[in-house]
Amino acid sequence: MQSDPKDVEIVRRLLARRGEVVSGEEIAIPLGISRVALWKRIRTLKKSGINIKVVPRRGYMLDNIEHDALLPPLVLSELKTSEFGRNYHYFDVIDSTNDYALKLLGEKALHGTVVVADHQTKGRGRLSRVWYSPPGKNLYLSVIVRPFVPVSLAFRVTMFSSCAVCELLRELGMNALIKWPNDVYVSGKKISGILTEASVEASGNVKFYVVGIGINVNMAYSDFPIDIRDFATSVMIEKGEPVPRRKLFLRLMELLEKWYNICLINVEEAWMYWRRYNYTLGKRVVVDEKVTGEAIGVTPMGYLLVRLDDGKVERVVAGDLQVVD
């Protein structure tokens, strides 16, 4: 589901005077549409789930807004970014937002296009692992970004996104930390996972990147499957109360845009943030149950440097990492 700019404007005008009755003329005239056309649009917006009240002979009113709804007119009427999220594709249910972005939108899509779903039936992690994606609780989104680095530096795409997620959660008062290569952790548990995928031409040039981000927002402990319950957390668990999902999404768009631009202009600043709020560096780690030692750094390509117990330094390209102390 996408949104017509006029629908977005209708919602914006009602939101600006939230709780007040706004007459049909006050909306229809500036939009250059008739009152009947306005009524038809309002009817469609209501059907899509936006709770606009019709007050006979007086006009329309929006007061009780669902804070978790991610419907396009609600999101777009409040979005403050210049590129990220401006092109917004929303689904109540989809297999995987990354699959849709890679296969169906692909190179036709503008930079910053976002695919969002309330529920994923085949949410994926790396190596086709499952990303648990129940409805109504969390954020699942994929952002399409222009290739600003070659595929060898794709880690920077994961890096700018993890800086954005980390800052988002830190703004909420959580001690969020970035775990190499693609997770954000709070209280030693996974709260967010990022899956960066590139569409590459035969020549090796990147056509576009898709950054898939899953953030656990309003899941309770018992909502998680038993096997990950003790290793995963959510914003609600950490804060002790539910948080409005749309507000979180809107701020995430701003922070993604901010960190993308930082990466373009001064990647060292992004590295500094990434290192400062890192969960991995300086810790004793085990990667893929094979490499054990101290994580001492990350190369510009995103490889983890591990100092083994015999003093040799091993470069780890990818893998599953456990922090052991």
By the criterion CB under 6 A, which residues form the site for ligand BT5?
96-98, 120, 123-126, 129-132, 140-142, 182-183, 190, 193-195, 212-214, 216, 228, 232
Q: Are residues 306 and 295 in contact, defined by beta-carbon separation less than 8 angstroms?
A: yes
Of 40 and 103, the one with the shorter C-beta distance to ligand BT5 is 103
Question: How many residues appear in the chain?
Answer: 325
The helix (run of H) or strand (run of E) holding residue 190 is: strand 189-200
Of 194 and 198, the one with the shorter C-beta distance to ligand BT5 is 194
**Closest CA relative to residue 162, chosen from 177, 142, 150:** 177
The label of the residue with tokens 């060292």 reads 268
Q: Measured in Å, how far apart are the chain's first and last C-alpha atoms?
A: 46
Of 10 and 210, the one with the shorter C-beta distance to ligand BT5 is 210
Position 119: which residue type? H
* DSSP string across 34-48: -HHHHHHHHHHHHHT
Shortest distance, position 260 Cβ to ligand BT5, whole Å = 17
Of 9 and 183, the one with the shorter C-beta distance to ligand BT5 is 183
**Beta-bridge partners for 61:** 53
Shortest distance, position 142 Cβ to ligand BT5, whole Å = 5
- CB-closest chain residue to ligand BT5: 193
Segments of 86-138 assigned E as strands: 88-91, 114-117
Of 45 and 236, the one with the shorter C-beta distance to ligand BT5 is 236
**Beta-bridge partners for 77:** none
Shortest distance, position 95 Cβ to ligand BT5, whole Å = 8
Shortest distance, position 168 Cβ to ligand BT5, whole Å = 15
**Alpha helices (runs of H) in the chain, residue ranges in sequence order:** 5-16, 24-31, 35-47, 72-76, 97-99, 155-171, 226-229, 235-239, 245-265, 267-276
Of 24 and 193, the one with the shorter C-beta distance to ligand BT5 is 193
Shortest distance, position 135 Cβ to ligand BT5, whole Å = 13
* DSSP state letter for 278: B
What number of helices (H) and strands (E) belong to the chain?
10, 14
Shortest distance, position 196 Cβ to ligand BT5, whole Å = 9
Shortest distance, position 44 Cβ to ligand BT5, whole Å = 28
**Dihedral of CA 1/130/110/15: which sign?**
positive
The label of the residue with tokens 């981000």 reads 213
Of 103 and 247, the one with the shorter C-beta distance to ligand BT5 is 103
Shortest distance, position 250 Cβ to ligand BT5, whole Å = 17
Of 106 and 125, the one with the shorter C-beta distance to ligand BT5 is 125
Q: Are residues 208 and 190 in contact, defined by beta-carbon separation less than 8 angstroms?
A: no
